[in-house]
Amino acid sequence: MLEIQNLCYSVDNEGSRKDIIKNVSLTLEDNKFYVITGPNGSGKSTMAKLIAGIEKPSSGKIIFDGTDITDMSITDRAKAGISFAFQQPVRFKGITVKDLINLAAGDEKLSTASACEFLSEVGLCARDYINREINASLSGGELKRIEIAVTLARSAKFSLFDEPEAGIDLWSFNNLIKVFEKLHDVTHGSIMIISHQEKIINIADEIILIANGELVKKGTKEEVLPLLTGTQSFSCKYTNE
């Protein structure tokens, strides 16, 4: 279980303070599938980075399975079971897809066949990709799928995905939905996806709506969707926050 208590995050904006996250409190239960949504610039990606430890909150606490992780490093949070698929995956010269999958799985000797299964799940022909370097020769969509495969390999207690659908337009959307459903079944952990896509929202147990750095509503689709229609950029999936 992940508990976010009175979380605030502000940055210095040319001498004046800008509040990005404003006193957000949330409880995310085990084995649940959450979608966090809201307009561009509402603070969704920042929330994910605060949970993964990439950014440090100005105040407030994050409790994971009863342990206060607010001051923990990225590494220790990862080891504790928090996994994070980036919105914009990172390229590495010389590091292969297999290297990252093995690292994510925590098994250097993971067989190629097992590593390939993760790639097949995200719709990539494993044989063509497993030994590829994660460098500029891969397209944005390929990188995005590899990022998801790597996160699947982690099989973590808490998996965060920042706009996983962005950039993989040509891939059958239903497959992506199946990937998340399977992840939900297999890992018995919580999943939190930042998304603007209605199809992803439809399979969530609960929706978290954030606007202007504040929690607007957490609840079922039926409870939250009516509030969503009022936020102007909801239907756009090509956002970069």
Partner 1 sequence: MDQIQKNLLAEVADLHEIPTGAYNIRSNGEGAGRRSTENIEIVTKTDKSGIDINIKPGTVRESVHIPVIISETGLSECVYNDFYIGEGSDVTIIAGCGIHNCGDQKSQHDGIHTFYVGKNAKVRYVEKHYGEGDGNGDIVLNPQTIVHLEEGSYMEMDSVQIKGVDSTIRVTKGDVAANATFIVKEKIMTHGHQLAETDFQVELNGENSNTNVVSRSVARDESKQIFKSYIAGNNKCHGHSECDAIIMDNAKVDAIPGLSANSVDASLIHEAAIGKIAGEQLVKLMTLGLTESEAEAMIVNGFLK
Residues that bind partner 1 in the complex, under the rule CB under 8 A? 52, 54, 73-75, 78-79, 82-84, 86, 89-90, 92-96, 99-100, 103-104, 106, 150, 154
Nearest CA to 113 out of 95, 96, 130 is that of 130
Q: In this structure, are strands 16-28 and 33-37 parallel, antiparallel, or unpaired?
A: unpaired
Nearest CA to 147 out of 85, 209, 240, 234 is that of 85
Across the beta sheet with 59-64, the strand order is 16-28, 2-13, 59-64, 67-68
106 or 219, CB closer to partner 1?
A: 106
CB 222 to partner 1: min, Å: 34
Amino acid (one-letter) located at 111: S
CB 167 to partner 1: min, Å: 17
CB 184 to partner 1: min, Å: 20
106 or 230, CB closer to partner 1?
A: 106
CB 54 to partner 1: min, Å: 6
CA angle 136, 137, 141 (to 5 degrees): 85
Nearest CA to 163 out of 51, 76, 35 is that of 35
138 or 209, CB closer to partner 1?
A: 138
Given a contact cutoff of 8 angstroms between Cβ atoms, the answer to whether 170 and 209 are in contact is no
CB 168 to partner 1: min, Å: 19
37 or 159, CB closer to partner 1?
A: 159
CB 152 to partner 1: min, Å: 13
183 or 209, CB closer to partner 1?
A: 183
Radius of gyration from C-alpha coordinates of the chain: 18
Torsion of CA 193, 198, 201, 207, to 10 degrees: 90
90 or 125, CB closer to partner 1?
A: 90
